[in-house]
Amino acid sequence: MNWENKENKRLLQAILALDTPNEAKHFLRDLMTSGEIEEFAKRLKVAEMLTEKIPYSIIEKETGFSSTTVARVSKWLNGKQGGYKSMINKLHHHKSIQVRRGLS
């Protein structure tokens, strides 16, 4: 994966420029198919479930993913890049702030 080519850099810039959930929804819907959005959302769910130490068998049943896909997400979750872990930490931090403010 080459993050330094123009197109990939531009995609990252576009993602970082999103200001609201509505903008994100519209951009992602234009960028991807409904199936791709659902696939990526489920992969994030798998990563969160793995973080909670939920067994593969339960994850497979709940998401419909194969053990191969769950293992792939686990590999990325525990890999050097840290993308899933970073995002899960941010989401959980944001959720705890909302709970403290009574917004959830």
Specify the DSSP class assigned to residue 1. Answer: -
> For the chain, what's the residue count?
104
pLDDT class for 2, splitting at 50, 70, 90? confident
Q: How far is the C-alpha of 25 from the C-alpha of 75, rounded, in Å? A: 28
25 and 42 both lie in a single domain: no
Does residue 104 surpass a pLDDT of 80?
no
**Closest-CA residue to 73 (of 91, 60, 90):** 60
Q: Which amino acid is at 80?
A: K
> What would the mean pLDDT of 49-59 be, rounded to a whole number?
96
Q: How far is the C-alpha of 84 from the C-alpha of 78, rounded, in Å? A: 9
43 and 83 both lie in a single domain: yes
Predicted local confidence at residue 61, as pLDDT: 97
Predicted local confidence at residue 101, as pLDDT: 46
Predicted local confidence at residue 1, as pLDDT: 82
23 and 41 both lie in a single domain: no
62 and 78 both lie in a single domain: yes
As a whole-number percent, the residues of the chain with pLDDT over 90 amount to: 81
As a whole-number percent, the residues of the chain with pLDDT over 70 amount to: 89
Q: How far is the C-alpha of 21 from the C-alpha of 57, rounded, in Å? A: 32
40 and 74 both lie in a single domain: yes
**Closest-CA residue to 41 (of 32, 54, 30):** 32
Asked if residues 18 and 27 have their Cβ atoms less than 8 Å apart, the reply is: yes
- pTM for the model: 0.82
Greatest pairwise CA separation for the chain in angstroms: 43
41 and 27 both lie in a single domain: no
